[in-house]
Amino acid sequence: MIRFENVGLRYGLGPEVLRDVSFHIGSGSFQFVTGPSGAGKTSLLRLLFLSLRPTRGSVRIFDRDAATVSRTVIPAMRRRIGLVFQDFRLLDHLTTFENVALPLRVAGADESSYRSDVKELLEWVGLGDKMWVHPPVLSGGEKQRSAIARALITKPEVLLADEPTGNVDPPLARRLLRLFVELNRLGTSVIIATHDLALMEQYDARRLVLNNGQVEIYD
């Protein structure tokens, strides 16, 4: 599904942020991406989401070369990838329902075609009673679950999560992890970038450890 071969990445004329990174991610897999602050976790997620192109090496996603894929094709590829941001990025003037449905609205879908799916997904993440409220009245954990639901509404094949437990307490972090594990059991590949060692100890999964721009893999 995803393959990196000797990937290097630099911003402008600066030093390489990633150096000779090689790994593959199979369909239906689960992995943590970890490492110290500044190790390149977010840059790696940006490559996976096709918002960056590698400086050198090969990144293949869904059997397409990320370095040469046409920009007109990228939106369709991104619809197969869900992304959960650490800072939620919810729109305060929209309700929880509207925030979660936003990717479908942007794609031109009629509300009647997705209304039941959005409601079912909000129930699944435990927000059925917060469906019609706006983000300012939600707790940090509720905002994070809203962001997860928004990332899942397009039924992506891959879910990327950037520090999804960075703004929540340990009990909620465990609850969020259970959501990711259940999602993986339903067939979605899950990639969680985190520095939370306690979270990773909760679940025996593959680890991609970034350090000084390079990756070590622990299966």
Same domain, 133 and 42: no
- Predicted pLDDT of residue 174: 87
Instruction: Find the domain containing 135 and state its range.
Output: 89-142+149-154
Same domain, 67 and 163: yes
Q: What is the reported pTM?
A: 0.90
Same domain, 114 and 210: no
- Predicted pLDDT of residue 165: 84
147: nearest Cα among 74, 21, 159: 159
Same domain, 17 and 75: yes
Same domain, 70 and 178: yes
Same domain, 72 and 107: no
Same domain, 128 and 25: no
Same domain, 40 and 106: no
- Predicted pLDDT of residue 198: 87
- Which CATH number fits the domain that encloses residue 206? 3.40.50.300
- Predicted pLDDT of residue 53: 94
Of 154, 178, 201, which marks where a domain is finished? 154
Residues of the chain with pLDDT under 70: none
Of 154, 180, 207, which marks where a domain is finished? 154
Same domain, 72 and 110: no
Give CA–CA dist 217/12, Å, rounded. Answer: 28
> Beta 214-218 vs 206-211: how paired, if at all?
antiparallel
Distances (CA, A) of 211 to 3, 83, 214: 19, 23, 5
**Number of domains forming the structure of the chain:** 2
Same domain, 174 and 198: yes
Same domain, 119 and 18: no
- Predicted pLDDT of residue 175: 87
